[in-house]
Amino acid sequence: MTDPSSPTSGSPTSGRPHRVGVIGGDGIGPEVIAEALKVVAAAGVELETVDYDLGGARYLRDGVVLDDATVEEWRGLDALLLGAVGTPDVPPGVIERGLLLKMRFDLDLYVNQRPFLAPDLTHDFIVIRENTEGTYAGEGGFLRKGTPHEVATQGSVNTRMGVERCVRYAFELARSRPRKHLTMVHKTNVLTFAGDLWQRTFDEVATEYPDVATAYNHVDAACIYFVQSPSQYDVIVTDNLFGDILTDLGGAVSGGIGLASSGNLNPARTGPSMFEPVHGSAPDIAGQQKANPVAAILSAAMMLEFLGEADAAARIRKACADTATLVGSTAAVGDLVAARL
Ligand code: IPM
Ligand code: MN
C-alpha cells in the first residue's frame, strides 16, 4: 500500500531510538506525561526525548508561546508528545491558537484521530476530526470593536483539498477495520455551503470504496446516538468544530475523558505527528497526583503504533483495558500499567 493517506502503521526506525519532542505543558500535563514515558520504557521501546518548556506558565514567565525556530526544529523529529496546555491567568486563545493550533496548522496535522472504546467493550469507534480548517482556521475579525455597532465574524473555511484528504483517510481507516463502516457527521441541512462541499466530496470518494458501507448523521442527532446507541458507530468523519464537541461527548460515554486519547496526524509523514490526551490541564487538581494518566498513556501507545511499534502499542492498550482496576495516584496507575506489560 503506497497511498500516503494510509492509516496503517509506519515501520520502526530500525537502528536508532525514536526522537520525540515532549511538551509536558501546564497543570496535570507533566504528571500524566511522566507516566506515559514510564510505560513506553517498560514496554521496551527506546525513545530519545527532547523536552520543550511551553504553555501558559512559560508564557507568563517570558512571553514566549511558540516561535517559528522551534517549529523548524520539530520538523526533524519523529513525533511530539504533549500533556496539556492552558493556565487560568492567560487570556483565552493565546495558548490555544498560539501553541496548539499553530502546531496543528504549521505541521499540517490534518487528521485528529480519537478512538473510543467502552470499558465493557459494548462500543468501539473512532472519530476522524478534520484538524486544519473549518471555524478553527481563524477567518474573520472585528469591525467597530467596542462600539454599540460592533460586528464580529468567524467564518468556516472548507477547501476541497482539505476535506478530501481527511475523508479519504477516514475511508482507508474504515476499510482496515472489520466492520468497514463510515458515518459522516455534519449539519448539511443548515450549513448548506460547507455541508454541500463535504457531502459531495464524501459521496465521490465513497465510489472508490465500494467495500465500505456509509451513513450520514446530522451532528445534533449524533449527540443522541452517542448517548443512546454508540455501538452503531465504527468510524466517523466530521469537521473540526463538530469533532471537537463530539469527542468530549465520546469521552464521557466511554469511561470518562480521563481515558480519551488522540493523535494529531500528518498521514503524509512530511513531518512529525503530535499525540495528546483529549483532556485539558485541569489546574484545580494539578500537582496532587490525582489525574488519571491513562489518556496520556494511550496517546503514547497511539504514537508508538504510528511509529511502527505496533506490538508495543497493542501490549500497552491491553494493559490499560481493565480500567476498573487502574486506581490510585497518577504514579500508582502508571506503575500498575507498567507492571502489566
Ligand atoms: C481539543 C481542545 C482544543 C481544541 C483547544 C484546547 C484549542 O479542546 O484538542 O479538543 O479545541 O481543539
Ligand atoms: Mn476539545
- Give tens-digit pLDDT for 108-123: 999 999 999 999 999 9
Output DSSP code: residue 148: T
Indicate the pLDDT class of residue 325, thresholds 50, 70 and 90. very high
Q: How far is the CA of 312 from the centre of ligand 1 (A)?
A: 28
Closest CA to 117 of 105, 106, 125, 129: 125
Q: Are 19 and 76 in contact (CB under 8 A)?
A: yes
Please, how many CA atoms are within 13 Å of residue 91, restricted to the half-sphere of its CB? 3
Q: Are 281 and 84 in contact (CB under 8 A)?
A: yes
Q: Are 27 and 195 in contact (CB under 8 A)?
A: no
Look at the chain and count its residues: 341
- CB-based neighbours (< 5 A) of ligand 2, an ion: 244
Residue with CA nearest ligand 1 atom 4: 244
* 62: its cell numbers: 517570558
Atom of ligand 1 nearest to the CA of 262: 9
Ligand 1 proximity of 100 Cβ (cutoff 6 Å): yes
Q: How far is the CA of 56 from the centre of ligand 1 (A)?
A: 15
pLDDT of 17 over the 60 cut: yes
Indicate the pLDDT class of residue 269, thresholds 50, 70 and 90. very high
Relative to beta strand 261-265, strand 111-117 is antiparallel
Closest CA to 254 of 118, 103, 147, 80: 118
- Average pLDDT across the chain, whole number: 95
Q: How far is the CA of 213 from the centre of ligand 1 (A)?
A: 30
As a whole number of angstroms, the distance between CA 104 and CA 274 comes to 8
pLDDT of 9 over the 90 cut: no
Atom of ligand 1 nearest to the CA of 240: 12
Q: Cα–chain-centroid distance for residue 258? A: 14
pLDDT of 98 over the 60 cut: yes
Is 248 among the catalytic positions?
A: yes
pLDDT of 7 over the 80 cut: no
pLDDT of 221 over the 60 cut: yes
As a whole number of angstroms, the distance between CA 53 and CA 257 comes to 25
Is 216 among the catalytic positions?
A: no
Tell whether pTM > 0.85: yes
As a whole number of angstroms, the distance between CA 264 and CA 114 comes to 9
Indicate the pLDDT class of residue 130, thresholds 50, 70 and 90. very high
Is 233 among the catalytic positions?
A: no
Q: How far is the CA of 111 from the centre of ligand 1 (A)?
A: 13
Rg (CA), the chain: 20
Closest CA to 243 of 135, 317, 159: 135
Mutate to test the pocket of ligand 1, among 65, 238, 244 (most ligand atoms within 8 A of CB): 244
pLDDT of 28 over the 50 cut: yes
Ligand 1 proximity of 96 Cβ (cutoff 6 Å): yes
* Beta-carbon contacts of residue 247 (< 8 Å; ≥ 6 apart): 112, 114, 116, 127, 129, 260, 262, 278
Q: For a pLDDT cut of 70, what percent of the chain falls above it?
A: 96
pLDDT of 2 over the 70 cut: no
